[in-house]
Structure 1
Amino acid sequence: MKNLSRIEVFGYMFLIITFVNSLYFGFTDAALFNEHYAQEDGLVENETALMLLAISILCVYHLFKLWNFKKPLWKAGTLIFAVLFFFAAGEEISWGQRIFGMESGEFFLENNAQGETNLHNLVVGDTKVNKLIFSQLLMIVMVLYLVIVPLLYKKVRWIKNLADTFAVPIVEWRHTIAFIVCTILVSLIPADRKWEVYELAFGIIFFLIFLNPFNRHIFRESSNAHE
């Protein structure tokens, strides 16, 4: 394992502190956990939005820093990630609706499970988008990305070339292990809103992945050499 940077050490410390607090509040005071710690627009949710925004900003930083050194497909991939995580950050806090005291439009009042201005809580027929896409589908994608893709990246050249071409960061095994540990710990928390903590863990670990992936050479001026 390569030596961790100070930012990475801080990131893992933040992750550990998050779970120490979550396990303590979750087991000792479920009401405090649900109604304050992990409530809508509470500490955990706001931290999640900030981590997702930080990933987007990091992608924009890479884009501007390496603009003159990278090919169009690399730029396209990095831009897509920047937009994707910015969108996720906005969705996490309903685009600042409660922060700025904005009212939801008629469409969202009628079709959103919480009457909020966001897409992930929409209800289509009897199906919640959040349950279908952000729970079931996302879990499948996470397993593939965290376990299968790293193996294929090292064994199949065209997958390696595809990932590097579109600036797709490949996880180190420490990232995968962190996700597995976080999944186990979250499942142990008895409080109802424990999955808010899981979303925060997602944000922290993905920031660490984009900060220093296995194929870290994709974020350098020259991507010919691989460590």
Structure 2
Amino acid sequence: MKTLTQIEKIAFTFLVIVFGFGIYFSNTDTIYFDTVYAKEDGYVEYGTAVFLFFSSLLLLYRFFKLQKFKKPLWKFGILMLALIFLFGTGEEISWGQRIFNVESSEYFLENNAQGETNLHNMVVDGKKVNKIIFSQLLTVILIIYLIIAPLLYRKFEGIKNLANMFAVPIVKWQHTIAFLSCTALIMLMPAERKWELYELAFGVIFFLIFLNPLNKSIYSVNS
């Protein structure tokens, strides 16, 4: 594992501080943790949205900067990834509903667990979409992306070419270790809203991955 960049050092230090206070407050004052530290529409939640948005902007910047030099599959891959993170940004803040004091429609009031205009809190047949898709499915995707994909990328030339062809940024091991460390630390928090910190870690680490992936050459003109 190569030396961390200055941005990675700052970002990882930030996560250590946030999770450190999270563990402390979660174990000493659960009410403060849930209603102040990791509250709805608090700094942690908005921080997640900011990093997701920055990730999307970074990918869009690279798309518009390099698209005239790249093949259709590269453009498709990076654009889809940018749109996914833009969608995640909107979902995180319920598409600005609470910021702009917009009332939910009758459909969302009846079918959304929190009465908000977003998809991840929708309830289908008594089950939250968040639990089915945004938790269980996302867990599988993260395991594949953070652990399996880097191994396959390093071992098989075909996988390497496929990832580069679709502009899929491959994680460095420091990113994987950071995410696994946050996963372990989150288990030390008994508070209900601890997952807000996990989402923040997701936003921060994925921004770092997109900023400086193992295959950063996919963002060069000649690759």
Report the TM-score when normalising by structure 2. Answer: 0.96
The CA deviation at 1:151 is: 0.9
2:174 paired residue number: 174
Q: Deviations over 1:160-212 (max 9, x none)?
A: 11110111011111111111110010011121110111010011111111111
SS in 1 for 2:68: coil
**1:10 Cα deviation after fit:** 2.1
Shift of 1:7: 2.3
What does the per-residue CA deviation read over 1:19-50, in whole Å, with 9 as the maximum and x for residues that have no partner?
12212221222111101111111111000000
SS of 1:66's equivalent? helix
State the alpha-carbon separation in 1 of the partners of residues 222 and 20 from structure 2: 41
Q: Which moved more, 1:16-25 or 1:127-136?
A: 16-25
Q: CA deviation at 1:67?
A: 2.1
Question: Aligned letter for 1:81?
Answer: L
Question: 1:42 corresponds to which letter in structure 2?
Answer: G
Tell me what 1:144 maps to.
144
Correspondence for 2:39? 39
- Quick one: which amino acid aligns to residue 138 of structure 1? L
**Counterpart residue number, 2:82:** 82
Aligned-partner residue type, residue 55 of structure 2: I
Contact 2:12 2:178 in 1 (8 A): no
Structure 1 residues 4 and 222: CA distance shift in structure 2, 3 A:
farther
Cross-structure match for 1:28:
28
2:182 & 2:33 partners in 1: Cα distance? Answer: 17
Deviation at 1:127, TM superposition (A): 1.5
The 1-side partners of 2:144 and 2:78 are apart by 20
Amino acid at match of 1:166: F
CA distance in 2, matches of 1:220, 1:37: 41
Q: Percent identity?
A: 61
Structure-1 residue corresponding to 2:187: 187
Q: Tell me, yes or no, if the aligned pair for 2:54 and 2:207 is still in contact at 8 Å.
A: yes
Kindly report structure 1 stretches of 4+ aligned residues shifted beyond 4 Å: none
CA drift of 1:140 comes to: 0.8
Please give the root-mean-square deviation of Cα atoms over the aligned residues, in Å.
1.2
For 1:102-141, list aligned pairs within 5 A.
Answer: 102-141=102-141
Report the residue type matching 1:56 in the other structure. Answer: S
Q: Aligned to 1:67, what secondary structure does the other structure show?
A: helix
Write the distance in 2 (CA, Å) between the matches of 1:46 and 1:206: 16
